Amino acid sequence: MSRRIGRLTAVSALALACLVAPGSAAVATACAGENTSTGGAFADGGELSPAKAEAAQRKLKTGTPRIGQVSIPVHFHVISDGAKGAVSIQRLSKQVDVLNQTFSGTGFAFTAASATSYDRADLFYDQSLTSPPGAREIAMKKAMRKGGVRDLNIYTVQTDESALGWATFPWDYKENPQLDGVILNHDVLPGGAFVGLSTGKIGTHEVGHWLGLLHTFQGVGCEPPGDYVDDTPAQDTASRGGCPTSQDSCPSPGDDPIHNHMDYTNDLCRTMFTPGQVTRMQQAWNAFRA
């Protein structure tokens, strides 16, 4: 049974086989994750190793900046335990609006393609950022994912304490296409319960990863190459919540990029991508998703 509202369709889905995820969270190397917090801050569950970041950079150099607009279909998968975790069509639509607002001028636009709801308590609770991905995450994505390399799949669940969200990188698609996508805690979508983190901009941050961006504090200390983007000032450590004006963790010119969507300040503080980041996203699209 389904019902169509605007461009989104809400569908009651058949159950999947219940699988149990591994018990302990590990540092993520293939995904980028954001830890839970209700105080207006979020933090990372894992960084790319220098070797993996460099390998991705070598592949990315084959891509050239794309001229013109790319329209990305967005498929939402709303996993819930009855009413707990249910996300309305209106909130999903607002999330797409936030993506279009925050990626305006980057060459990427987002179109709501579908929304499917799953009343699955066994998949809803305590989804965890692990490396490799847990069995429940793998089963969920393999059964639910829609579209191809150009389609953005967003899964909403209740994450455990390891993360508020995480994303796969575009260079991992070829090896694991069925795992491609973004996982978000249902309460970080617009109108959610997390203080300072429920305007939809964690979605922006994770989609930034999905399009090939690294954290502004990627790497070891203040040393280059950092996030491989020349116009983001060097940053030693992640910002931890709020909006710490004039924070400067490295001796090189420029304060920390606290307003950048790829740092960890609160939603209101994060407002921008740099031209260099736009170029990198376009290069990554051409190299891995075009």
Write out the catalytic residue numbers: 206
Whole-number Å distance between alpha carbons of 61 and 59: 5
The residue type at 55: A
Element (H, E) at 276: helix 275-284
The gap between the terminal CA atoms of the chain, to the nearest Å, is 34
| Residue pair 14/123 in contact by the 8 Å Cβ criterion | no
The residue type at 28: A
- How distant is the alpha carbon of residue 217 from its chain centre? 16
Coil, helix or strand for 118? Answer: strand
Strands (E), 136-177: 152-157, 165-168
124: left (phi over 0), alpha (psi -120 to 50) or beta: alpha
